[in-house]
Structure 1
Amino acid sequence: MTAYILRRLVAIVLTLLALSVVVFVVIQLPPGDFVTSYIARISGSGESIDQATIDALRAQYRLDDPVIVQYWAWLKGMLVGDFGFSFEMKRPVSEIFASRIGNSLAVEMLAVIVMWSVAIPIGIYSAVYQYSIGDYFATIIGFLGLALPNFLFALVLMYISYVWFGVTITGLYSPEYMNAHWSLAKFLDFCSHVWAPVLVISTAGSAQLIRVLRANLLDELNKPYVLTARAKGLKKSKVILRYPARVAMNPLISVVGWVLPTVISSSFVTAIVLNLPTLSPILLRALLSQDMYLAGALILFMGFLTMMGTLISDILLAWVDPRIRLGMAGAN
């Protein structure tokens, strides 16, 4: 297992290097750059900008250097923790990360915890008691969760909270706690706001996981080893939780790798609708304004999270399923 993990870590480093080249090239593909976009916005507002200022901006951000020189400077900076400067937000990219990564992690991890806590027991119940009233109810709720767009659910939730209860649920903090240091009062204020994005984000995910777990567990329950265990007199709950449920969990564990990058990429529209101070709106804003250092760093970070998440998924699968451990041992 140790040799396998070391090989994967080396592969992650090489993949990130290749991904950095692709990201930088893709960001450079649209015509123009940040300065041209900035000039267009200034001109659209009826103002003007002199050529000396334009030349100073281009020189400051090395936009007239060859692409390979810009890429090499960007790569060297990232190796020492300097991810560049955000043209749009006029702040170092590392500061933007530091100010928003905590909120993004908190919202997404809470959503994942809620998602799994709801999906696993309901999925197991629906499979074990197939075609029962509870199974039909879970199926209806699951289809509604999949069919209802997150942003629409967020709008409905905002309307109900404000009209019926007089509560505004946008953002993650009240204005007085936005820039305050952490305290018990700020934590309680955060809890009073975070439930809304967690509920919106986890609804569709829970519905999907319920359907996947139910289908896989139904397939396992009819296999001979389950029938044999039941024939030996083992308790039904013990048989289900110890054997088929573990096997049916494999597809759910395998998608853990896609959970980490959702710290940035998930629910762009939901984050905008609820005015969340997370990284998702920042990425959209950076892409629209061709803020190449900020957009490049965020996309590269998403790639890193995806690869680390996939590694964590493989390790969890090996821990849950002995067959995968034997396969890893054979590969070594």
Structure 2
Amino acid sequence: MLTYLLRRLGLAAITVVAITIVTFGILHLPPVDFVTAYAAQAAASGSAISAAEADAMRLAYGLNQPLWVQYWKWLSMVATGDFGRSFEYGRPVTEVIGDRLWLTILLSLGAIVVTWGLALPIGIYSAVRQYSIGDYIFTFIGFIGLAVPNFLLALIVLYFGQRWFGVSVGGLFSANQQLAPWTWAKVVDLLWHLPVPVLILALAGTAQLVRIMRANLLDELRRPYVVTARARGLTERRVILKYPVRAALNPFASTIGYLLPFMVSGSVIISVVLSLPTVGPLLLRSLLSQDMLLASTIILLLGVLTVVGTLVSDLVLMWIDPRIRLGQLR
């Protein structure tokens, strides 16, 4: 087990280095840089900058250096915990991400809890009560959840919330609490606004996992060991929950690999529609403005979380499914 962990950690370190190279290289593929994008935006607003000013900005930001020099400087800073300064905001990247990271984690954790809390019992019920009225109802709702994009649901919720109740369900804070310092009143205001975006984020994931859980559990319930357990006189509850459900949980464990980066990025489109102060819209804005250090940091964070999530997923799968052997995961 220790050898396996050490080998996986070594591969994870190599993967992270590869992620930094690919990320930095891809983000510098566009022919324009931050200064070019800034100059175009300034010209559109009627305050154009001169070529000398643009060259001075490139010199200040180090954009006139070769790509490998820029990468090495950025990697050296990352190794010391310094992710540089955002070009657009003029502040350290860690400060720009700031509260957005924790708000994104809180929002995504709520969505994950709701998704698993609904998908697990509904999937078990649909498999055990196959072709019942409840199964048909949940199947119908599940297909709707898979067919309707989350951003469309967000738009519908915004419309009916404004038309029927006269309130805006967007954002995570009231207008008087957005810029206020953290107090108990702001925490209560956040908890009051949290359920709507959490439910919208969880809908599609819940519908998908319900279908997966139902299909996997139906397959497990037809296994010979389930027939043998019933023949030995075990109660139906014990027959179902002891082994088939545990084996059918594999898809839930395998989703950890992308749940961790999802906790940071969230849903970019839904966050934009609902005006949520999360990391997703910040990543989108940094890509549009060519703020490379900010975009590289966020993408690197997502890549590292994906690697960590994959490792955790493999360990959880080994724990919940005795059929998986260490030698098969090498």
Q: 1:159 to 1:330 in 2, by over 3 A?
A: closer
157-166 or 241-250: bigger deviation: 157-166
Q: What is the aligned-residue RMSD (CA, Å)?
A: 1.5
| Aligned position for 2:35 | 35
Give yes or no for the alignment of 1:79 onto 2:90. Answer: no
* 2:176 partner SS: helix
Give yes or no for the alignment of 1:220 onto 2:197. Answer: no
For structure 2, the residue ranges without an aligned partner over 5 or more in a row are: none
* 2:155 partner SS: helix
| Aligned position for 1:115 | 115
Counterpart among 314, 325, 328 of residue 326 in structure 2: 328
| Aligned position for 2:234 | 234
Deviations 1:140-171 (A, max 9, x none): 00000011111110111112222222222111
* 2:139 partner SS: helix
Q: Distance in 2 between matches of 1:277 and 1:91?
A: 18
TM-score (norm 2): 0.96
Q: Distance in 1 between matches of 2:76 and 2:289?
A: 24
Q: Distance in 1 between matches of 2:175 and 2:10?
A: 45
Q: Is the 8 A contact 2:250 2:317 kept in 1?
A: yes
Report deviation, 1:236: 0.4
Q: Distance in 2 between matches of 1:150 and 1:331?
A: 35
289-298 or 173-182: bigger deviation: 173-182
Q: Distance in 2 between matches of 1:18 and 1:38?
A: 30
Q: Is the 8 A contact 1:150 1:270 kept in 2?
A: yes
Look up the equivalent residue of 1:301 and give its one-letter code: L
Deviations 1:180-204 (A, max 9, x none): 3433322221111111111111000
Q: Distance in 1 between matches of 2:181 and 2:314?
A: 38
Report deviation, 1:289: 1.4
Q: Is the 8 A contact 1:264 1:283 kept in 2?
A: no
Look up the equivalent residue of 2:326 and give its one-letter code: M
| Aligned position for 2:166 | 166
Give yes or no for the alignment of 1:143 onto 2:113. Answer: no
Q: Distance in 1 between matches of 2:328 and 2:38?
A: 57
Q: Is the 8 A contact 1:283 1:295 kept in 2?
A: yes
* 2:71 partner SS: helix
Q: Distance in 2 between matches of 1:217 and 1:173?
A: 41
| Aligned position for 1:156 | 156
Q: Distance in 2 between matches of 1:78 and 1:27?
A: 17
Report deviation, 1:94: 1.2
Deviations 1:250-294 (A, max 9, x none): 122111111111134442110001000000001111111111111
Deviations 1:170-228 (A, max 9, x none): 11111222233433322221111111111111000000000000001001101110011
TM-score (norm 1): 0.96
Q: 1:274 to 1:231 in 2, by over 3 A?
A: same
Q: Is the 8 A contact 2:257 2:312 kept in 1?
A: yes
* 1:260 partner SS: helix
Deviations 1:92-141 (A, max 9, x none): 11112222110010011110000000000000000000000000000000
Look up the equivalent residue of 1:145 and give its one-letter code: G
Matching of residues 201-216 of structure 1 within 5 Å: 201-216=201-216
* 1:294 partner SS: helix
Report deviation, 1:331: 7.2
| Aligned position for 1:312 | 312
Q: Distance in 1 between matches of 2:184 and 2:289?
A: 38
Q: 1:119 to 1:66 in 2, by over 3 A?
A: same
| Aligned position for 1:194 | 194
Report deviation, 1:329: 6.5
Q: Distance in 2 between matches of 1:91 and 1:10?
A: 34
Q: Is the 8 A contact 1:265 1:280 kept in 2?
A: yes
Name the % identity.
51
Q: Is the 8 A contact 1:16 1:304 kept in 2?
A: yes
Q: Distance in 2 between matches of 1:130 and 1:151?
A: 31
Q: Is the 8 A contact 2:74 2:84 kept in 1?
A: yes
Q: Is the 8 A contact 2:169 2:193 kept in 1?
A: yes
| Aligned position for 2:278 | 278
* 2:170 partner SS: coil
Q: Is the 8 A contact 2:170 2:275 kept in 1?
A: yes
Q: Distance in 2 between matches of 1:265 and 1:96?
A: 15
285-294 or 179-188: bigger deviation: 179-188
For structure 1, the residue ranges without an aligned partner over 5 or more in a row are: none
259-268 or 240-249: bigger deviation: 259-268
Q: Is the 8 A contact 2:108 2:264 kept in 1?
A: no
